[in-house]
A and B are shown apart, each in its own frame.
Chain A
Amino acid sequence: MKLKNIFASLGGIIGVGLLIGILAPLLQKLGNPGNMGICVACFERDIAGALGLHRAGVVQYIRPEIIGFVLGSLIAAYLFKEFRPRLGSAPIVRFVLGAFAMIGALVFLGCPWRAALRLAGGDGNAILGILGLIFGIWIGTLFLKNGYNLGRAQTTHTAAGWMMPLMMLGLLALLIIFPQIEGQGKNGVLFYSLKGPGAMHAPLLISLGVGLAVGFLAQRSRFCTMGAIRDFVLFRQTHLLLGLIALIAAAFVTNLILGQFHPGFEGQPVAHTMHIWNFAGMGLAGLAFALAGGCPGRQLFLSGEGDGDAAVFVLGMIVGAGFAHNFGLASSPKGVGPYGIEAVIIGIIVCLLIGFTMRKRGTA
């Protein structure tokens, strides 16, 4: 008989939200970029850059937080006997959804986690992003109500469930073997940023430690920023939503205390003021997350507990980041990239096509 999971209680999810809301601004204080104490999309994009999958020089760093998210969840899943290797629920579709979720997020310049942190840091542009996120998720719930379903996953080999945790251990090994050298843009196989957000990071062990703690707690509590909004829209359930609100509230207070709250629209860190594309980029991301069943953080936590489909979504996001920078789809503080608008439109069309064509009530 297992112990009751206290983190799955209302107090548990709010506690986890509050803790993430305190830790993220502290990571910023310790070196992470502005309003980017934690950003799953940005950090996976930085990993893509460090590996040379794109060559945007200002965003290259193996972010230990991401490694920690997966491994923290893995540890929690093993400790509480919840590691369940499974896969086979339309992985290629999840890859495509991950890629377009990343492209949408990089048009806005942040995933739902960062949208919350940008809001808590006073960035008014986040309001447009969050409205877009809600709109995209709302579209996703319409598909869900009409029987959208990617089909069942199957139980698989334990080693298959370990693929993403092993990749994360591999990234950690690379980071230790080829550490950053002051003033050098490359060490061994890894690229490093000399300036820009990629050059800004908290000390490795602190980033990794916070990542592990968040991964552990999020696995226990099922924390999900997309699910927070989806469950409210779909069922009027406020369980996960209260966790997200707790995160924003705690981050707001922590930012005030640390002097990191700067209200306004102009000149916000790693942000632009093109309202329509902040809305639409996040709308695309929200729709893709809703169709894939989890925010980018949740996909990492799921992949840590053996979910191979979530792992494929994560790989889709990393590859999507490569395309986003190689093709000039990602925004910069100057505004959207040269082909960002076209990419958002194509992404929305692809997601709608997935939503309309992949229905099968309960079976499959």
Chain B
Amino acid sequence: MTTKIDARGLSCPQPVLMTLDEIKAGKAIEIEVLVDTETAKENVSRAAASQGWEVTNVAEEGDGYKITIRKG
């Protein structure tokens, strides 16, 4: 199933913490993370990769990005 995380407006390391919490909860196989800064986008992508997840899509959405990551 796909889980959504809204990390817009939150500063680092919150978006990464939220993403890692969701990954570690072990239920999701796909997660969509909404962020609104480049830094958060890079950090979430890097953190997902470190957990063996794959960044399958980064789409511009509103003022920010929707990052889709998938369990590898």
Contact = CB atoms under 8 A, between A and B. Distances in A.
24 contacts: A80-B38, A82-B37, A86-B9, A86-B36, A89-B9, A89-B10, A144-B13, A144-B17, A151-B9, A152-B8, A152-B10, A155-B36, A222-B39, A235-B16, A235-B20, A235-B47, A235-B50, A237-B50, A239-B46, A293-B11, A307-B11, A362-B7, A362-B10, A362-B18
Interface in A139-153: 144-145, 149-153
B13 A230 contact: yes
Contact of B12 (A86, A151, A293, A309): A293
Interface string B1-34: 0000111111111101110100000000000000
Nearest to A302: B11
Given A89-B10, A152-B8, A234-B13, 16 more contacts: A84-B63, A86-B9, A144-B13, A145-B17, A149-B10, A151-B9, A152-B10, A153-B10, A154-B9, A155-B63, A222-B39, A222-B42, A227-B13, A235-B16, A237-B47, A362-B5
Contact of A153 (B11, B13, B46, B47): B11
A5 interface: yes
Nearest to B11: A293
Interface of A: 5, 8, 80, 82, 84, 86, 89, 144-145, 149-155, 222, 227, 230-231, 234-235, 237, 239, 293-294, 307, 309, 362
Contacts of A149: 10, 14
Nearest to B12: A293
A106 B68 CA distance: 44
Contacts of B10: 89, 149, 152-153, 362
A17 to B, nearest CB: 17
A153 B39 CA distance: 15
Contacts of B7: 362
Contact of B38 (A5, A237, A309): A5
Nearest to B51: A235
Given A144-B13, A231-B13, A237 B8 contact: no
Name the interface size band of chain B. Answer: 20 to 34
A5 B13 contact: no
A5 B45 CA distance: 13
Contacts of B50: 235, 237
Given A5-B42, A8-B42, A84 B37 contact: yes
Contacts of B38: 5, 80, 82
Interface in B31-62: 36-39, 42-43, 46-47, 50
Nearest to B47: A235
B43 to A, nearest CB: 8
A151 B10 CA distance: 7
Nearest to A236: B50
B48 to A, nearest CB: 12
B4 to A, nearest CB: 11
Contacts of A86: 9, 36
A5 B63 CA distance: 19
Instruction: Report, nearest first, the 8 A-B pairs whose CB atoms are least far apart.
Output: A152-B9, A293-B11, A153-B9, A8-B42, A82-B38, A222-B39, A362-B18, A152-B10
Contacts of B47: 235, 237
Contacts of B39: 222
Interface centre among B7, B9, B36 (most CB of A within 10 A): B9
A234 B6 CA distance: 21
Contacts of B13: 144, 227, 230-231, 234-235, 293
Contacts of A222: 39, 42-43
Nearest to A2: B38
